[in-house]
């Protein structure tokens, strides 16, 4: 009786060679499946590791981290653009207000000139006809005085507004 275990094992393997081969193939296949499914999935990252280098392959958690950081950067950029847009809109609004104030001032000056010409015309016609009544010149004088006061007050207010705006811009107000 032989007690050589290795010899008995080799005889058994030789007798059942396809069974042993199928078991070995099964073990190798399962090892490959476990190795492939056990590794974390990777994909190309959103951000390059260094300037000028292509993005590297990253895992799911790193990809999600990169996505969150990029979304944060986009949000910061959007907020900066919103602030720039608001500042631009304020500049345009201030410019439009200056244009409107200038046009209104020109309109007041033109109206005053027209009123002055009308008044001088009435006085000249009255003097030429000989029907000029000095008492009728009092309301005309009061009207001209009111117009002159209006122009003076308007100019003074514009000067004060400019001074206040300049003080606010310099930050001393």
Chain segment 154-169, per-residue pLDDT in tens: 888 888 888 888 888 8
State the Cα–Cα distance between residues 38 and 31, nearest whole angstrom.
Answer: 10
Position 110 pLDDT exceeds 70 = yes
Boundaries of domain holding 161: 136-172
As a whole number of angstroms, the distance between CA 162 and CA 92 comes to: 17
Q: Is 164 contained in some domain?
A: yes
Closest CA to 157 of 87, 116, 105: 105
Rg from Cα positions in the chain: 48
Whole-number pLDDT of residue 2: 58
Residue 165 lies in a domain: yes
Least confidently predicted of 58-62, 72-76, 115-119, 124-128: 124-128
Beta bridge pairs of residue 57: 44
Whether 125 maps to a domain, the answer reads no
Q: Does residue 172 surpass a pLDDT of 80?
A: no
Q: Determine, yes or no, domain membership for 150.
A: yes
Q: Give a yes or no: residue 143 inside a domain.
A: yes
The answer as to whether 145 is a domain residue is yes
pLDDT at 25: 92
Q: What is the mean pLDDT of the chain?
A: 85
Q: Which residues contact 80 (CB under 8 A, 6 or more apart)?
A: none
Question: Per the domain annotation, does 161 fall within a domain?
Answer: yes
Q: How far apart are CA 86 and CA 75, in angstroms?
A: 16
Count of domains for the chain: 1
Q: Is residue 152 situated within a structural domain? A: yes
Of residues 118 and 137, which shows the higher confidence score?
118
């Amino acid at each position: 009786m032989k007690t050589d275990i290795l010899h008995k094992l080799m005889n058994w393997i030789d007798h059942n060679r396809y069974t042993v081969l199928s078991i070995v193939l099964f073990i190798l296949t399962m090892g490959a499946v476990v190795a492939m499914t056990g590794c974390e999935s990777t994909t190309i990252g959103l951000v390059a590791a260094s300037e000028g280098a292509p993005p590297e392959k990253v895992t799911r958690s790193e990809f999600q981290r990169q996505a969150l950081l990029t979304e944060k950067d986009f949000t910061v950029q959007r907020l900066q653009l919103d602030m720039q847009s608001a500042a631009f809109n304020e500049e345009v609004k201030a410019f439009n207000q200056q244009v409107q104030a200038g046009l209104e001032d020109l309109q007041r000056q033109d109206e005053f000139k027209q009123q002055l010409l009308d008044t001088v015309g009435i006085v000249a016609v009255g003097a030429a006809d000989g029907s000029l009544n000095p008492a009728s010149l009092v309301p005309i004088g009061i009207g001209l005085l009111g117009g002159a006061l209006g122009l003076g007050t308007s100019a003074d207010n514009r000067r004060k507004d400019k001074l206040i705006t300049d003080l606010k811009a310099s930050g001393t107000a």
